[in-house]
A and B are shown apart, each in its own frame.
Chain A
Amino acid sequence: MLNASLKQLATQLLEKKISSVELTEAFLKHIKSLNPELNAFITINEEMSLAQAQVADKMIASGQAHPLTGIPVAQKDIFCATGWLTTCGSKMLSNFVSPYDAMVIERFNQVGAVNIGKTNMDEFAMGSSNETSYYGPVKNPWDTLAVPGGSSGGSACAVAARMVPAATGTDTGGSIRQPAALCGISGIKPTYGLVSRYGMIAFASSLDQGGPMAKSAEDLALLLNVMVGFDGRDSTSLQRESEDYTRDLEKPLGQLRIGLPKEYFAKGMSNDVASAVEAAIAEYRKLGATMVEVSLPNTMLSIPVYYVLAPAEASSNLSRFDGVRYGYRASRYTDLEDMYKKTRAEGFGAEVKRRILIGTYVLSHGYYDAYYLQAQKLRRLIARDFTEAFKQCDVIMGPTSPAVAFNLGERSNDPLQMYLSDIYTIAANLAGLPAMSIPVGFGGKNRPVGLHIVGNYFKEARMLNIAHQYQQVTDWHLRAPAGLFEAK
Chain B
Amino acid sequence: MTLSVDDVKRVANLARIEINEDESKQVLAQLSGVFSLIEQMQAVDTSNIVPMSHAQDMIQRLREDVVTESDQHILFQSIAPQVEAGLYLVPKVIE
Contact = CB atoms under 8 A, between A and B. Distances in A.
Interface string A235-265: 1101000000000000000000000000000
A336 B91 contact: yes
Instruction: Bin chain B's interface residue count.
Output: 35 or more
A380 B49 contact: yes
Interface in A341-365: 341-342, 344-345, 348, 353-354, 356-358, 360-362, 364
Nearest to A232: B63
Dominant secondary structure at the A interface: helix
A344 B50 CA distance: 36
B40 interface: yes
B55 to A, nearest CB: 2
Given A305-B41, A339-B90, A376 B52 contact: yes
Identify which of B12, B41, B52 gathers the most chain A CB atoms within 10 Å of its CB.
B52
B30 A354 contact: yes
A374 B46 contact: yes
Contacts of A383: 52, 55
A361 B55 contact: no
A238 B56 contact: yes
Contacts, number: 161
B22 to A, nearest CB: 13
A341 B34 contact: no
How big is the A interface, by class?
Answer: 35 or more
Contacts of B66: none
Contacts of B54: 206, 236, 432
A377 B52 contact: yes
Interface of A: 95-97, 99, 192-193, 206-207, 232, 235-236, 238, 298, 301, 303-305, 307-308, 315, 319, 322-329, 333-342, 344-345, 348, 353-354, 356-358, 360-362, 364, 370-371, 373-381, 383, 415-416, 419, 429-432
Interface of B: 7-8, 11-12, 14-19, 27, 30-31, 33-35, 37-42, 44, 46, 49-56, 58, 60-61, 63, 72, 75-76, 78-82, 88, 90-93
20 contacts: A206-B53, A236-B54, A298-B44, A304-B39, A304-B40, A319-B15, A323-B81, A329-B82, A340-B16, A345-B19, A353-B27, A354-B27, A357-B11, A357-B27, A357-B31, A364-B14, A380-B49, A415-B30, A415-B34, A432-B56
